[in-house]
Amino acid sequence: MPVDLLDEAQRALETTLPERGDDYRLGYHLSPPAGWMNDPNGLVYFRGEYHVFYQHHPYSPQWGPMYWGHARSADLVHWEHLPIALAPGDAYDRDGCFSGSAVVEGDTLYLIYTGHRWLGEPGNDEHGMHQVQCLASSTDGITFTKHGVVIEAAPHPDIMHFRDPKVWQCGDHWRMALGARQGDDPQLLLYRSQDLRQWECLGRALEGRRQPDGYMWECPDLFELEGRDVLLFSPQGLEPDGYERWNLFQNSYLLGRLGENACFVAETELREIDHGHDFYAAQTLLAPDGRRLLWAWMDMWQSPMPSQAHHWCGALSLPRELSRDGDRLRMRPARELTALRQSRQALAIGTLEAQSRRLEVRGALLELELELELTGSTAERFGLALRCSDDERERTLLYFDAMARRLVLDRQHSGAGVSGVRSVPIAPGQARIALRIFLDRSSIEVFVDDGAYTLSSRIYPRPDSQGVSAFAVNGRGVFGEGTAWSLADLKL
C-alpha cells in the first residue's frame, strides 16, 4: 500500500477537525474524529489492549471508498484514535477496503478484509462488482502491510456479492465465515486454512431464499456461547412482520449447531438482537477473561444523519456482554462502563396519578436505573420523557403501554430529522420492568430486564434539551426507587 494514501487521508482528517461541529458529538461512544463511520471491523485484543477498527471515509461525512479507521483502549472506556489502518488503492481493493475481522497469531496482528472493485459506474450494482478476500499484518498494531488477495473468487460464478470475512481459530486451523448472494438468495460460506493465506472452501454452511430470508446476509459472525453455536448476521431484504423488522435492514441471530460437515443447523427462529431504530453490523470478540463482547454500528442506512452538516457521521454502540438465556441472547452493558459514573442522584418518583412531573435530574450524558411497577399501576401509559426541552416540545419517550403490553421507545419529537416508534413485548403477569438507560448527546440505549431486550436509537435534540420528566396517562403509574448518574464526557 502506498504510504502516501494513508498520510493523505490522515491529513484530510486533521484539516477537517477545526471545522467539526460538536452539538451532537457523543461524549463516551466511539465515533470518527471526522468523516464517515459505519460497520465495526476487526475487533481484537492485542498486547494488552482492545482494538476496534471500523469502516471509514475520511474525506467526507458521506459513505465513500472505504478505509479502516482504528482506535484502541485498555479498559473499554477510554479510547485513543490511532492512524488509519487501511486505505483502498491497490488493484484488488481500489474502490474500498470493506468489512472483515482481525486475529492474532504469535506476535502478529492480522486483518482479513474484502477488497472491492466496481466494474462499471461506482455505486451501481447493475454494472457489476468484483469482491475478493485480502490479508494485511502488523507487528506493532499500528502500521499494516498488505499481503494481497488470499481468496480470489467465489465458489460459483453467479456470486457477485461475496464479503465480510469473519475469521477465528478452531483447533489447529483457522475458519472463515463469509456472506454471499447468488442471484437473489443469501448464503453463508465456510472456509478453512492452516496459515491464513491458503483457504479451502468447505461449502455452504447455510442457504436461504429471497422470501422469507432476504437477499443478502452481511457481516456474519459465528461463535460458541455457553454450549450453543450462535450465527449473528445482518440480513437485507426482510419485510416488516407485526412489531418486528421495521428498520431498513436488521441485525439478527440464530442458535444452532455447526456440524462436522460444515453445515449450520438452526435450532431457533430468527430473532432481532436489538429492537431500536439504529443497530446494524454487530460483531463480537472473545475477551481474555472469556466474555463475548459485542459492538454494532449505531446508525441505519437511509436514516436521517444531521451530524453530516457538522463534518462527521456515525457511531458505535457501547460494548456489551453477551450471554445466553435458553434459546435467546441477553446483552448487558460491559461492566467496565460503571467507571463513567460521576455524580449520583436518587430518583424518588413514587406514584403519579394522571399527571407529569419534571424531575430534578438533568443532563445530556446520563445513566438511569429504575423499575416500572406494573402491579398496582392502572395507567394506559406511564414512563419517562428524556432529553426534554423546557417547553417539552422536544422529548424522547420511554413508557409502558398497558393496552399493547409493550415497552415503547418513541422518538417522534426527539430532535432534528428523526421519527418513529419501536417496542418490545412485556410478558403477561410480569410484575415490573427493570430499566437501565444510557443517554449521550445524540443517542439512547435502553437495557430492559437485565438485557433480555435492548433498544438502541440515535436522537438529535438541541444541546439545551436536558430535562427528565415522569408521566402517567389516564390512571396511576407506580415507579420503583431509581438512581441517576451523570457520566463522564470523554470527547471520544
Question: Rounded to the nearest 5°, which phi and psi values hold at 474?
Answer: 55, 60
Whether 158 and 274 share a structural domain = yes
pLDDT of residue 121: 84
**134 three-state secondary structure:** strand
String of DSSP letters for 241-295 = BTTB--SSS--EEEEEEE-TTS-EEE-S--EES--SSS-EEEEEEE-TTS-EEEE
Q: How far apart are CA 283 and CA 159, in angstroms?
A: 24
390 torsion bin: left (phi>0), alpha (psi -120 to 50), beta (else): alpha
In a domain, 117, yes or no: yes
Burial 211-231 (b: 16+ CB within 10 A, else e): eebbbbbbbbbbbebeebbbb
Calculate the alpha carbon distances from 217 to 213, 233, 235, 236 in Å. Answer: 9, 6, 4, 6
pLDDT of residue 385: 98
Sort strands 356-362 and 35-46 into parallel, antiparallel or unpaired: unpaired
Catalytic residue among 7, 39, 172, 325: 39
In a domain, 332, yes or no: no
**Torsion (CA) 158, 163, 167, 170 in degrees, nearest 10:** -20
Here the CATH number for the domain that contains residue 416 is 2.60.120.560
> By C-alpha distance, which of 337, 338, 334 is closest to 323?
334
Q: How far apart are CA 6 and CA 228, in angstroms?
A: 41
**Torsion (CA) 230, 236, 238, 243 in degrees, nearest 10:** 70
* Amino acid, single-letter form, for residue 124: N
Q: How far apart are CA 128 and CA 218, in angstroms?
A: 18
* H-helix or E-strand spanning residue 477: strand 476-479
> Could you give the number of structural domains in the chain?
2
The secondary structure of the chain in percent helix, strand, coil, rounded to multiples of 5, reads 5, 55, 40
Whether 345 and 282 share a structural domain = no
User: Which DSSP category does 18 fall into?
Assistant: G
**231 three-state secondary structure:** strand
* Amino acid, single-letter form, for residue 54: Y
Q: How far apart are CA 456 and CA 448, in angstroms?
A: 11
* Amino acid, single-letter form, for residue 69: G
Whether 297 and 356 share a structural domain = no
Question: Rounded to the nearest 5°, which phi and psi values hold at 154?
Answer: -70, 160
Whether 290 and 422 share a structural domain = no
Measured in residues, the chain has a length of 492
pLDDT per position as a tens digit, 157-183: 899 999 999 999 999 999 999 999 999
Whether omega for the bond prior to residue 319 falls within 30 degrees of 0, making it cis, is no
CA-derived radius of gyration, the chain: 23
Name the domain boundary from 285, 319, 353.
Answer: 319
**418 three-state secondary structure:** coil
Q: How far apart are CA 352 and CA 156, in angstroms?
A: 63
Whether 392 and 296 share a structural domain = no
Question: Rounded to the nearest 5°, which phi and psi values hold at 220?
Answer: -70, 150
Here the CATH number for the domain that contains residue 143 is 2.115.10.20
In a domain, 79, yes or no: yes
Question: Rounded to the nearest 5°, which phi and psi values hold at 338?
Answer: -60, -20
In a domain, 325, yes or no: no
Q: Are 373 and 480 in contact (CB under 8 A)?
A: yes
* Amino acid, single-letter form, for residue 441: R
In a domain, 330, yes or no: no
Name the domain boundary from 319, 349, 364.
Answer: 319
In a domain, 336, yes or no: no
Whether 436 and 292 share a structural domain = no
Whether 290 and 401 share a structural domain = no
Catalytic residue at 39? yes
Q: How far apart are CA 214 and CA 210, in angstroms?
A: 5
Whether 278 and 407 share a structural domain = no
Whether 152 and 11 share a structural domain = yes
Give the structural domain span for 306. Answer: 3-319
Whether 464 and 372 share a structural domain = yes
Q: Give strand pairing partners of 102.
A: 111
What is the chain's pLDDT, residue by residue, as a tens digit (492 residues)? Answer: 556 999 999 999 999 999 999 999 999 999 999 999 999 999 999 999 999 999 999 999 999 999 999 999 999 999 999 999 999 999 999 999 999 999 999 999 999 999 999 998 887 877 889 999 999 999 999 999 999 999 999 999 899 999 999 999 999 999 999 999 999 999 999 999 999 999 999 999 999 998 899 999 999 999 999 999 999 999 999 999 999 999 999 999 999 999 988 999 999 999 999 999 999 999 999 999 999 999 999 999 999 999 999 999 999 999 999 999 999 999 999 999 999 999 999 999 999 999 999 999 999 999 999 999 999 999 999 999 999 999 989 999 999 999 999 999 999 999 999 999 999 999 999 999 999 999 999 999 999 999 999 999 999 999 999 999 999 999 999 999 999 999 999 988
In a domain, 353, yes or no: yes
Whether 283 and 352 share a structural domain = no
Name the domain boundary from 289, 319, 349.
Answer: 319
In a domain, 470, yes or no: yes
pLDDT of residue 2: 54
Whether 371 and 284 share a structural domain = no
Sign of CA dihedral 257, 263, 269, 275: positive
